[in-house]
Chains A and B, each alone.
Chain A
Amino acid sequence: MKATADSNRLLEVKGLQKFFPIRKGFLQKVVGHVRAVDDVSFFIREGETFSLVGESGCGKTTTSRCILRAVHPTSGQILFRTAAGKVVDVATLPEDQLKPLRSEMQMIFQDPFSSLNPRMTLLDIVGEPLLVNGVTDREERTARVAELLKVVGMRPEYMRRFPHAFSGGQRQRIGIARALALRPRLVVADEPVSALDVSVQAQILNLLLELQAEFGLTYLFVAHDLSVVKHISERVAVMYVGRLAEMAPTHDIFYAPKHPYTEALLSAVPKPDPRLRSKRIVLQGSVADPANPPPGCYFHPRCQYVVDLCRQQTPELTEVAPGHHVACHRATELQLAGVVQ
């Protein structure tokens, strides 16, 4: 495997795996593994918005945590091209080299209420990354925090206040300001709008798009809301029980999906128009257990297009059209329904 990435690729994930051991009994013996992330590979170009989509337990959050090295991957490579132009493998980087790299990768969290320390002022919260990374001069820090708050649409005068004085949307803006403090190149946004009211979601999504244009940010969006994903992404990867089911440019995923799970997912999204009440694909059963996935294709027990091969052999992710990857034995023969144009 080559250790270098294409020159416009900021991040390249190769064969990523993260297994969590299941321990039982008095001696805490390992009796199995939860295959949270099971051989995931993708890349993100600089300046792009890439979304990981899937339902509970699909592994999207664990994948994003591996990329930030918040958890240690079990195996695989996470190649990141630093500001200096060097490509490093985040998965195996020693701690002392990882620390300076962390300023280039930041995270925006889902819950605006638990992601801000209630005992810290906005100045403390947004200024902390600066303090930790050497901006010890208080005046300079205050000036930078004021600038950051303005950039996210908050008044700098608020910096002496505490999080509880602000609404969910405003708190999310504070979290975004904090994430931008060190001028990162990659921002991982884990469901950044799902906890917000509908009208506030629009404000935050607009803000994220503006910030991306202004600062040349690359986004890895982790989300389950397909309408939001479609609005903000250029490329989308659909995950199911730790594996990639499909990966393609946004337009193709939504209008010409090639994986039955993607089709079902799109069909399940309730459209805000009563005239679009069509017959929907309602999947039977529930999401497979990542600790004990079915043989063959993980999705086969719920798939309406299943054939014998699906029960026996796990499909590999293959490129069936330019930039369009699917893990399905029948990808080339099925005619699936996307979103109606």
Chain B
Amino acid sequence: MFYRAAGTFKTSYAADMAFYPLPVSRRAVAALLVLLVVLPPLFASDYVLAVLDLILVAVVGAVGLNLLTGNTGLISIGQGGFMAVGAYTSANLIVRAHAPFWIALPAAGAVTALIGTMVGIPSLRIRGLYLTIATLAAQFIIEWMINHVTWISGGIQATIQMPPPVVFGYSVHTQAGFYLFLLPFALVAVIAAKNIERTRLGRAFIAVRDQDIAAEIIGINIFRIKLIAFAISSFYAGVAGALYSYYLGIANYEQFQIDVSIDYLAMVIIGGLGSVTGSILGAAFITLLPVVTRRALEAISGLLPAGLDVPGIVPELRLCLFGGLIILFLIAEPEGLDRLWRNVRTYFRTWPFSY
């Protein structure tokens, strides 16, 4: 009912191709951005800000994985390993070369893009789930290399302490500061991914996903496209890993193991394959789900009969609830949260009609 395309006339190609062609959507997005920047640091507690920080890091990683898995159709379970590469690259640059964050982060992304391209080379020969196994191998190989090469890992503990980032002379160490530090990276990641989708490269990705033989026939070099997909996705993963270790204050590969890879794959799948909005929603969903289920069960635990081993039962119930909710959401909307959001949006757009 608010989204009325009638009455808006575009007079230039740029206006026609804009992301938000209607004034109402432009104003809505601007308002949302202002709210995102202003509200949480001023009004949210440290705890809420900590959860938001985790979501922002997850958004960067999920958007990158979506480019690889959702748009190009290459399922990857190496995301954790790539994040670890980014984390250790930035940590080593900061500790050894005293690099500021605006050098360390792109460098982390670049090195991870290189490693990702190498992992993508088998895609010349193998496709589909076989390539997934190759990315799984990459996850374990990267973990093993970090564990055993002390030049990378900084010692037996494989932990490198990261000093807080310094932005315009101000050292970021509060939760609100980290939120304002991470937010621009998440925004740039999202905008870049949305733009990539609209270019020739993005269309080539989708062609490779849908019918790679047909794509090859019309002249798309699918090997090159797959390598570029791996490179861009690994760049995102490297930056996400570096941001996460900035946030934690240490770089340690044990935070980027196979369970993290599977979490990111879950974010992309539940959010909706091939959609940037879906990756954002999926990242928020997977990050918030353990938190919400834990709080909900703790609130209900007061109703359990006394004498039961509540601290022992509640975590187990929470795991059941976690899995159950994921299954529920996938049954309700197999195409992901993005489709749910689009349904809501279409409802309001076509109101009072049904379609």
* A and B held together in a complex: no
